[in-house]
Amino acid sequence: MSQDRIPPRVRAMYGPEDLSSSPSFAGGYINFGYWEAIPLTDELDDADRTRSQQDLYRRVLGEFGRPAGSRVAEIGCGRGLGSALALREFDFASVCGVDIHPEQLARARAANAELLATHGGRLCYELGAADAQPFPDASLDALYSVEAAQHFRELTGFARESARVLRPGGQLVMTTFFSTGPQAAAPLAELLESFADGLDVAHPIDDFEADLGKAGFTSVRVESIGAAVWPGLDRYLEGTPVRGLWPRNFLIAWRQGLLDYYLVSATRAEEG
């Protein structure tokens, strides 16, 4: 995979800038978290923040209903902690974390060296992209992605490639933030520098739903989970040194109806 395929802001953010070291995050995970089970007191700490991010993974992985023997992959695995959690807590046959950024993969392999050594063959981390996944046709039972698709330049290729690698009847579950429609792109770029500088793309949720249908998915389900994400994240950020900086505008953008956090699940159509 050529480094040229990585958009410049994505290359910098997950290379030298190492987003996981920002005070907005904790514990090596890099997502905004699912806060439903965490009391939003004034004293949220790093343990709460880490748990919120693990709970976002649990919310996604819970959609699979623990199919025994599943061959599973994650797209945009970052430091690989969510892939390790999937293996430990959900008992899949194998989990392979995929990321476009070689530095993230090096971090994932280092952070999970013990598990890789003890569960050799059941856990792996591979270089690949949402639209160029390193798997043969119909080789996976399940595929998931957590807060990575906002970085993909387009989602048509992600939908098409996910349909290719899943076996008929296999399931895709993903979560991240999407815009509520094309009209939101300009105001989002005004409010949030990650949209203005090209780190994030304001993908309209309806377009992605259509992409999944065209790629051969059925039973497409889209659920808004923003109420369990943005208020909790903002309460945490209130108590950190990132106070006043751009991440806090996510809550404002959500309240203005410009974006939302969604959980999307879909099933690869059976053949014939």
Residue nearest to ligand SAM (CB): 78
Q: How far is CA 185 from CA 9, 192, 271, in A?
A: 18, 10, 37
> Is 216 in contact with 137 (CB distance < 8 Å)?
no
Q: Considering only residues 87, 96, 146, 229, which one is a binding residue for ligand SAM as defined by CB under 6 A?
A: 146
Tokens of 80: 């690989």
Compute how many other C-beta atoms are within 10 angstroms of the C-beta atom of residue 41.
10
Is residue 263 a contact point for ligand SAM (CB under 6 A)?
A: no
* Residue nearer to ligand SAM on the CB measure, 55 or 99: 99
> Is 266 in contact with 221 (CB distance < 8 Å)?
yes
* Residue nearer to ligand SAM on the CB measure, 19 or 269: 19
Is residue 111 a contact point for ligand SAM (CB under 6 A)?
A: no
Is residue 161 a contact point for ligand SAM (CB under 6 A)?
A: no
Q: CA triplet 170, 57, 184: central angle to 5 degrees?
A: 90
Q: Considering only residues 48, 55, 63, 99, which one is a binding residue for ligand SAM as defined by CB under 6 A?
A: 99
Q: How far is the CB of 42 from ligand SAM (least distance, A)?
A: 26
Contact letters (x/-) for ligand SAM, 6-45, by CB under 6 A?
----x---x--------------xxx--------------
Task: Quote the CA–CA distance of 57 and 174 in Å, as a whole number.
Answer: 10
Q: What is the distance of C-alpha 149 from the center of its chain?
A: 6
| Nearest to 166, CA basis, from 265, 249, 269, 247 | 269
Q: How far is the CB of 247 from ligand SAM (least distance, A)?
A: 12
Stretch that binds ligand SAM, among 96-104, 189-197, 221-229, 255-263 (CB under 6 A): 96-104
Q: Tell me the site size for ligand SAM, rule CB under 6 A.
A: 21
> Is 99 in contact with 125 (CB distance < 8 Å)?
yes
Is residue 75 a contact point for ligand SAM (CB under 6 A)?
A: yes
Which residues neighbour 195 within 8 Å (Cβ) at sequence distance 6 or greater?
185, 188, 189, 201, 202
Is residue 104 a contact point for ligand SAM (CB under 6 A)?
A: yes
Task: Quote the CA–CA distance of 36 and 55 in Å, as a whole number.
Answer: 9
Q: How far is the CB of 148 from ligand SAM (least distance, A)?
A: 4
Is residue 54 a contact point for ligand SAM (CB under 6 A)?
A: no
Q: How far is the CB of 270 from ligand SAM (least distance, A)?
A: 27
**Chain residues that interact with ligand SAM, rule: CB under 6 A:** 10, 14, 29-31, 75-78, 82, 99-101, 104, 129-130, 146-148, 151-152
